[in-house]
Amino acid sequence: MGESPPTNSARLSWQGGHRFEARASKGAIPIASGDDRTALSPMEAMLSAVAGCMAVDVVDILAKMRKNVRSYAVE
């Protein structure tokens, strides 16, 4: 039988007020709501995750097409 695919997990822990910390196997990022500008908002964290996922796919596709990517950004 084949191996099981690796599983991803994340843990969100409350840091007080509207501040949380998102932690996964490779690190942690602060997430906050309201006027706290020292951390990503929940929406910014979600948008960054979606953009990162898409960017990896685009760069992989371009590499398979043998395109020389010098720079790439998602807004």
Q: Which residues contact 58 (CB under 8 A, 6 or more apart)?
A: 72
Total tally of structural domains belonging to the chain: 2
> pLDDT higher for 33 or 62?
62
Tell me what pLDDT residue 38 has. Answer: 84
CA atoms of 22 and 71, how far apart (whole Å): 28
Whether residue 32 contacts residue 40, with contact meaning beta carbons closer than 8 Å, is answered with: yes
Q: Looking at residue 58, what is its pLDDT?
A: 95
Domain interval for residue 28: 1-40
The model's pTM is 0.73
pLDDT tens readout for residues 21-60 = 999 988 999 998 877 788 999 999 999 999 999 999 999 9
**3 with 34, same domain?**
yes
The reported pLDDT for the residue numbered 47 is 95
Instruction: Calculate the alpha carbon distances from 3 to 8, 25, 36 in Å.
Output: 15, 20, 43
Q: Are residues 21 and 36 in the same domain?
A: yes
- Number of other residues whose CB lies within 10 A of the CB of residue 40: 18
